[in-house]
Amino acid sequence: MTRYLVVVLVLSSACTKRANECGADSDCKVPYPFCDVDGAYPASGGVTNVCTVVPDNCPAERCGCTPNATTCANQTLSVCNPDGRSATTTACDLGCSADNTRCASFAPSNGLADALAMAKDEPDIDFPPMVDVFDNGDILELPSNAHVVVRSLLVTQVGVPSLRVFIARSFKIHAGFIQAIARDTSNPIAFVASGSIAIDGAFDAGFPMRLVYFGPGSQLASAPCAGVAELHGGGGGGNATPGGYGAPKAQLPAAPGAPGGAAQPANLFEPLVGGCPGGGFNGNPGGNGGAGLEFVSRSSINISGILNAGGLGGGDSSGGGSGGNILLEAPRVSISGTVAANGGSGGACGIGGNPGSSDAAPAAGVGGCGTNSPTLSGSGGTETQGPGIGVDTMIDTAAGGGGAVGRLQVKTTDGTYSHSGAVLSIHVSTGILVPR
């Protein structure tokens, strides 16, 4: 009798099947149509071969998906491909949006949120090796002057010139020149990308060539930061520091030198403006201030080359322009090259001053006329050295002061950025991006 009972129990055990046990989806029914073969999803509790609800994070190739539908989880955006059986994933640098339908973004400065949203529908732009970029929206390949097609728009800023904005899915920028069509009332320039922005050559807004004006977005001679124009030599433009004084006139009684422009507040990035001009002398204009530049990326900005927004040198006996202002906004920013916005030097002795250098060296003063104590203009300011003062000991000469160094602001996810090995001849501040 005992042996019979044991046999029955063994046979019964061999024939028992767990509730909801499965080997494929075809073994399951609504409301539990999904067979978790490996016990990999939370609904199964780790039990293998059990029917469950369809997991929220079921891969498209396993469960299918709605073409073009988007989901976001664990800092990863998934977009269903048109075949409905596969998906394309993208890492979200700022995490997922509150509704988990997209990557979180941020509101860039100066009203560029719409431009950032539009950028994803533009092509990737890999500039030719050398280009001219103008504040009217033109981009020309050098030396052929062939047009490079990049979508651009003007974004209004209150109380200052509008911002010229170039948009693309990503930018690769090599060597080139950033220029304004007009000396006054020119537009600062922005590059906005949904992907990365990389600068690996010398992108320069501070060295004059080809009879056009550099420093797009530079401020006017009426601005408080402009150097004072006097017959004793113009003062240098101010920015992160005051501009250098023009030389005192060698006469009796002694006449004071022209003051440099006032130091500017740290909020010159909203609205964005450039540097400040030096004061003029006897009809000779002071040097233009450096450019106002903004770079916005939803992923990363990498500068391994040179980005220069130096001020221009003053005309004869006029003050040098101050360096400009550069704003970088991206979840990640890396600078291993050079970012500079040095001031230009003043002019003297019939000689124009030098533009702000694209390294850490000050723009050298010019002049040298006279014998015992030569007249010499003030050198341009850098991050480590203030702008120079004009020197003049002759009755009938004058010398301009140097322009001040400009500013850089870097905004990232956590307010930090990589700058190992970088040369930063520019006054730096940081900020934090606010996700949206």
Mean pLDDT of the chain: 90
State how far the alpha carbon of 382 is from the alpha carbons of 54, 238, 407, in Å.
62, 12, 11
Three-state DSSP at 293 gives strand
CB atoms within 10 A of CB 78: 18
User: Predicted confidence band at 95 (pLDDT cuts at 50, 70, 90)?
Assistant: confident
Contact (CB, 8 A) for 54 and 69: no
pLDDT at 8: 38
Type of residue found at 223: A
CB atoms within 10 A of CB 324: 39
pLDDT at 208: 64
For residue 32, what are its two tokens?
Answer: 């539990």
Over residues 280-292, the mean pLDDT reads 92
**Phi-psi label, residue 350: left if phi above 0, alpha if psi -120 to 50, beta otherwise:** left
CA distance 298 to 167: 12
Contact (CB, 8 A) for 77 and 103: yes
Over residues 419-430, the mean pLDDT reads 97
Angle at 405 between CA 142 and CA 205, to 5 degrees: 10
pLDDT at 1: 41
Question: pLDDT digits over 150-169, tens only?
Answer: 999 999 999 999 999 999 99
DSSP string, 236-261: PPPSSSPPPPPPPBSSSSPBPPPPPP
When mean pLDDT is compared across 53-67, 102-116, 133-147, 193-207, the lowest value belongs to 53-67
Question: pLDDT digits over 53-71, tens only?
Answer: 999 778 888 888 889 999 8
User: Predicted confidence band at 11 (pLDDT cuts at 50, 70, 90)?
Assistant: very low
Specify the higher pLDDT residue, 267 or 12. Answer: 267
pLDDT at 428: 97
Is residue 12 pLDDT above 50, yes or no? no
pTM of the model: 0.84
User: Predicted confidence band at 7 (pLDDT cuts at 50, 70, 90)?
Assistant: very low
What would you report as the CA-atom Rg of the chain, rounded to the nearest whole angstrom? 31
pLDDT at 398: 85
Contact (CB, 8 A) for 299 and 195: yes
DSSP string, 3-63: HHHHHHHHHHHHH---TTB-SSGGG-BTTB-EEETT--SGGGTT-SSEEEPPPTT--HHHH
Edge to edge, the sheet with strand 189-193 lists: 152-155, 163-168, 189-193, 292-297, 325-329, 407-412, 427-432
Write b or e for each residue in 393-412: b if 16 or more Cβ atoms lie within 10 A of its Cβ, otherwise e: bbeebbbbbbbbbbbbbbbb
Three-state DSSP at 109 gives helix
Is residue 15 pLDDT above 70, yes or no? no
Burial environment of residue 9 by CB neighbours within 10 A (0 to 12, 13 to 18, 19 or more):
exposed
pLDDT at 10: 40
Estimate to the nearest angstrom the gap between the alpha carbon of 313 and the chain centroid: 25
Contacts with 55 (C-beta within 8 Å, 6 or more apart), sequence order: 34, 36, 41, 42, 43, 63
pLDDT at 248: 82
Contact (CB, 8 A) for 308 and 323: no
CA distance 74 to 423: 36
pLDDT at 257: 84
DSSP β-bridge partners for residue 192: 167, 296
Specify the higher pLDDT residue, 362 or 54. Answer: 362
pLDDT at 225: 96
